Structure 1
Amino acid sequence: AGGVGLISIFFIHDPNLLLLSMVGVGIAWASILAMPYAILAGAIPIHKMGIYMGVFNFFITLPQIVNGVIGGPIVKYVYGSQAIYSLVMAGVFLLIAAFCVRFVEDKDDTAIA
């Protein structure tokens, strides 16, 4: 829903219809915030959970910092100052990520089934 929502922003010209795009992005955002921790928590030893979660948080925040530094120049020089293209690319990458995560096996879910 999120990838399609981001890509659809490029094609929607009525500001009221953008609400539909944002619903898709919101659904994805809720999952983006919760699911990585749920997947990780089932795959690490309980007595080292704090260490692993801390390291995992580095891998969440470092790309955000890097994007904050180089995202502007990328939009300016690669996309010709048209930020909409970065949203379309984000949607494409979100769809690729959604496809890839289908191959992740959650040990807790496997044990229940």
Structure 2
Amino acid sequence: MAKKNYKNLSKISDIPESYQRYLDEIHNISRKKKGGWVTNKEIAESLSVEPASVSGMLEKLKNKGLIRWEPRKSIRLTEEGKRIARQLDEIHSLLHQFFSKVLKIDD
């Protein structure tokens, strides 16, 4: 099976949901920190998963060009990773507005 190249994706739906979850979380954590660097431990705690699980996903994200990372070092989104994370933020915001304003469902 050929590897998908995630660079310059036009559709967020082309990215597996598990990748989206991690990209979104890395983006959320990095926005709170000066410099934008995130640790494996921060991601694991935020997602309530084991650090080894995070490392496995980070390797996949790195191989797709979505993060910069070396084992036992901090993580940062690449420009493509940031672009996708911003799209995810926009989608989440639109969904939140839809649920709260149209369907009248609160948090």
Larger relative contact order, structure 1 or 2 (CA cutoff 8 Å, min sep 6): 1
More helix by share: 1
